[in-house]
Amino acid sequence: MEEFINIEKSKTDIDMMPPLTWAYIGDCVYDLYIRTNLINKTNLNAHKLHIETIKYVKAQAQAEYLKKIYDKLTEQEKEIVRRGRNTQSHHLPKNASVQDYMYATAFEALIGYLYLTKQNKRIREILQINA
């Protein structure tokens, strides 16, 4: 993906973005990671891939994963998580508790921030933590 995706924002610009912007892109990055991982490790058809993907990308699963890996994050990453968790989204989750939704947003914000700041190695490390 690095060949055709060029992030043109400076680190200062990225630091100033609202956490929901980080979460917006983090949601896509995490979803693509899960889908790619499932394709690499299974032989499921498209419908079953979708069903399996949902198990990982739903708010409750993301919230649980973040809580399990939290102690393995750097202080800067914990600050990004805090900002993501405390942001006001004005969106009522349909299939998750408000708390799970807040933690899922925090997780997505972390992944999005790391992606935007081109820390792909760290994203892989975080997503491969055996929590």
Of 104, 82, 106, whose CA–CA distance to 95 is shortest? 104
27 given a catalytic annotation: yes
Contact 49, 35 (CB under 8 A): yes
Count other C-beta atoms under 10 Å from residue 76's C-beta.
9
Q: Count CB neighbours of 117 within 10 A.
A: 17
Instruction: Please give the radius of gyration of the chain, using alpha carbons only, rounded to the nearest integer.
Output: 15
Check 27, 31, 71, 100 and give the catalytic one: 27
Q: Which residues are catalytic?
A: 27
